[in-house]
Amino acid sequence: MELPIHRRLKTIYKITYPNGKIYIGKDLVYNVNYFGSACGEAIGADFTLDEQLDFTIRREILWHSMDATDQEVNRREVELIRQFGSNNPAIGYNKWPPFKESAA
């Protein structure tokens, strides 16, 4: 039996937090309610308790495919993390790939 179309959709999404920092992640089985696995401690450290009590985030689908392999999705996710700089702690919450300061 074949999976319904929406369950075959693979996505890469961007989560934007109230402080403007972002997290980029992937969903290999498309769950509209999935918001990634960013480090809760890192996010929590950026907001006071009062700010955490009423918290709105935005999820945008940056890329999607019905026929990409998981390896293709993984590769594209890393490309987008680097493109958006979400592994730079000043910009986002991605821990991988590790951020390397550029020599300027």
What pLDDT score does 25 carry? 98
Q: Which two tokens stand for residue 34?
A: 């999935």
pTM of the complete model: 0.89
What pLDDT score does 8 carry? 81
Query: What confidence tens digit (pLDDT) does each residue in 44-57 have?
Result: 999 999 999 999 99
Q: Hunting for tokens 């109230």 — which residue is that?
A: 18
Task: Please indicate whether residue 30 or residue 62 has the higher confidence score (pLDDT).
Answer: 62
pLDDT at 78 over 80: yes
What pLDDT score does 12 carry? 98
Task: Taking residues 96-103, report their average pLDDT.
Answer: 83
Distance CA 69, CA 22 (A): 25
pLDDT at 3 over 80: no
Task: Taking residues 9-24, report their average pLDDT.
Answer: 98
- Backbone torsion region of residue 47, taken as left when φ is above 0, otherwise alpha when ψ lies between -120 and 50, otherwise beta: beta
What pLDDT score does 103 carry? 60
